Structure 1
Amino acid sequence: MTIVTTVLLARSKFPSDGPTSSLVTHYLAGAGIASGVIVAPPTVFGLTVYLLAPSMRHLFERLLLYPLFGAAALVFLFLAVTTWKPDPDTPASSMNNAASLVNAAATSALVTSGIIVTAAGILVSNFWLTLYFDARRCHPYDHVALFLLGAAAHIRREHHRWHDDSRVTSWRASLEVVAIQVERDASLSRRTGMAEGSAHVELREEARRIAAVIRSHKRALAQAHSRHDVDAVVASLVYGLRAFCAGDRTALLANAPDQVAPRVSRFTRAALRLAPATVLIAAGILLPLVPAIAHSELASSLRWYLIVMGAIMFITTREDLATKISEAVAKVLLK
């Protein structure tokens, strides 16, 4: 917050000369553009994950908050290091007014992004502090027990709808949430730390095996042919809940598979492909706006080259094909 305030005081310019209506319009335009650039990508990202990955829906607030903080920080840094000047072709008689309007829009955008960075940063800090103090007050498996209790209650409450495909899908998604929480908490990473390599690896493997037991109930739900089949799954989950509450790791591992390979979700695979592509596309949009690059003859070519490369990187995973296309595009645009 101190850094944001310092940058705002050092970089903000609130011109008073120039037409009042034009200044207000540019202030509003700067704030609107900054807000749109910051809010739109996290919103699209969060809604996409919410719709395509039901098991991630309990993280929806974080899926919006973290990207929002990251986008606001990037926009704020970009505005903080960029100097905005009116078009050199502007007549000398209008240069002062043009400079005032440009400064008004830039300052408004900088202040808006600074406010969003500060607000999102406070929310993120509050979230992590809450988790930290909750973890200090709770037993190791308390969160898992709460998640498992919620999933079991959810399924038992609606067991008469075993024939409803959407309900079964919802039950399976809730079990995936529990399994993810088991992988996180049953590894006891807060107690072992990364330094104790053998103990950390062993507990992490056991956590995956316990999570595999939770996931095995997803198939039982998919194959359920009556409410009694669903009740059998609920009874098994309650047994696991009692074992978690008692800290009985032996009981939790009794029916676990001997070995489980690390899982990479579809969302993770998509994110690994989307992240570098997004960076290239964002660079293609933002870099040509930097004054030193904007006046170059290759600014437009650079923009399209980076955007095309980002799209290609997302579409194909074949490096040889992407390399050939990038070389061809470079020859045409950057010759």
Structure 2
Amino acid sequence: MMTIVVSVLFARSTRSTFPSDGSTSSLITHYLAGAAIASGVIVTPPAVLALTTYVLAPSLRHLFERLLLYPLFGAAALVFLFLAVTTWKPGPGTPTSNMDTAASLVNAAAASALATSGIIVTTTGILASNFWLTLYFDARRCHPYDHIVLFLLGTAAHIRRERHRWHDDNQVTIWRASLEVVAVQVERDAPLSGRTGLAEGSAYMELRQEARRIAAVIRSHKRDLAEAYSAHDVDAVVASLVVGLRAFCVGDRTALLAHAPAEVAPRVGRFARTALRLIPATVLIVAGILLPLVPSIAHSELASNLRWYLIVMGTITFITTREDLATKIGEAVAKVLLK
């Protein structure tokens, strides 16, 4: 990867030369502009994705670094490949006398953008590889519940250390979010899917249901923290978490299930709910864009109306969860656009 990046950067940098009129300041400005534009294009989508997930799915906040690093690498790679195969030329309105200068400035901006994206590709690639290898080798050396133990230990220690802030609403909210992270980790690791495999359906389903029951015990402490009226109440929650921590350390599922509810329904998080609403809305909007392009439909007088109808229905589907309301609005729009 490093060799490819350096080779491409060297090949492209030879196209950028100083303008003959000596406008070095303009050249530097274009170098900086190219780097800034490339950085903005690369960083914005991964940042939006990571922040959206951070807000919609608090239980995935511990994955924030991964949600930012991997998309950043992908975006930088796409921008790098695009710049590597694209040749930039001055605009058609550029005077012939200034063509060489304009070409030098354009190539300077392109070379700077290419160099910036190449640096980001190399850096994030090294970080992502190191991150993945660390997780891989740690997983090979870990016991089945080690990750749960680490999350639970950190959460219990944090709550114990800050128990005097039981009256601080923001602090209690942070505690509750940390417990949700632990519960999600339990649902992920406690089914022992790496040992049973998805093909062994009955055993996997039984272990997954047990994992949900154990996670429900973890989540039950969220209410205890919300109702805490003294530091002593917080200490009681910490003591209960420590008992669970010891059970995880020795792999005692019987102790972990002792106070668990008999049955727990699968949970659907905010992120999953948003995705379930986003998928049909996206399908409708894409259909509204593409269907009118079909030749048999494009020649119809209602092609434009069909496009707007599907786009409006896609937007309504995402905004509201009430099917009756969406149906009524859809019927009203259809009467106006498709009459």
Q: TM-score, normalised by structure 2?
A: 0.74
Residues 15 and 202 from structure 1, CA distance in 2 versus in 1: closer, same or farther, beyond 3 angstroms?
same
Distance 1:27 1:62 in 2: 31
Residues 77 and 148 from structure 1, CA distance in 2 versus in 1: closer, same or farther, beyond 3 angstroms?
same
Q: Deviations over 1:196-225 (max 9, x none)?
A: 344333322322221111111111211223
In the alignment, structure 1 residue 164 sits paired with structure 2 residue 165: no
* Counterpart residue number, 2:189: 185
Is contact 1:273–1:313 with CA below 8 Å preserved after alignment? no
* Counterpart residue number, 2:303: none
Structure 2 counterparts to residues 247-258 of structure 1, below 5 A: 247-258=251-262
* Counterpart residue number, 2:94: 90
* Counterpart residue number, 2:66: 62
Residues 11 and 258 from structure 1, CA distance in 2 versus in 1: closer, same or farther, beyond 3 angstroms?
farther
Q: Deviations over 1:141-183 (max 9, x none)?
A: 1121121122122222333332222222121111111111111
* Counterpart residue number, 2:15: 14
Distance 1:197 1:159 in 2: 43
Distance 1:65 1:273 in 2: 27
Equivalent of residue 220 in structure 2, options 207, 216, 225: 216
* Structure 2 residues without counterparts, runs of 5 or longer: 286-307
* Counterpart residue number, 2:79: 75
* Counterpart residue number, 2:290: none
- What secondary structure, in the 3-state scheme, does the structure 2 residue paired with 1:230 have? helix
Worse overlay, 165-174 or 226-235: 226-235
Worse overlay, 99-108 or 133-142: 99-108
Q: Which amino acid aligns with 1:191?
A: R
Distance 1:169 1:225 in 2: 15
* Counterpart residue number, 1:225: 229
Structure 2 counterparts to residues 109-148 of structure 1, below 5 A: 109-148=113-152
Residues 160 and 17 from structure 1, CA distance in 2 versus in 1: closer, same or farther, beyond 3 angstroms?
closer
* Counterpart residue number, 1:263: 267
Matched residues, percent identical? 74
In the TM superposition, residue 110 of structure 1 has moved relative to its aligned partner by: 1.4
Residues 273 and 90 from structure 1, CA distance in 2 versus in 1: closer, same or farther, beyond 3 angstroms?
farther
Distance 2:174 2:78 in 1: 36
In the alignment, structure 1 residue 36 sits paired with structure 2 residue 40: yes
Residues 273 and 257 from structure 1, CA distance in 2 versus in 1: closer, same or farther, beyond 3 angstroms?
same
* Structure 1 residues without counterparts, runs of 5 or longer: 281-304, 330-335
In the TM superposition, residue 274 of structure 1 has moved relative to its aligned partner by: 7.2
Worse overlay, 266-275 or 197-206: 266-275
Number of residue equivalences? 302
Residues 164 and 197 from structure 1, CA distance in 2 versus in 1: closer, same or farther, beyond 3 angstroms?
same
Residues 312 and 7 from structure 1, CA distance in 2 versus in 1: closer, same or farther, beyond 3 angstroms?
farther
Residues 118 and 157 from structure 1, CA distance in 2 versus in 1: closer, same or farther, beyond 3 angstroms?
same
Q: Which amino acid aligns with 2:319?
A: T
Distance 2:263 2:227 in 1: 24
Residues 98 and 316 from structure 1, CA distance in 2 versus in 1: closer, same or farther, beyond 3 angstroms?
same
In the TM superposition, residue 313 of structure 1 has moved relative to its aligned partner by: 8.2
Worse overlay, 192-201 or 213-222: 192-201
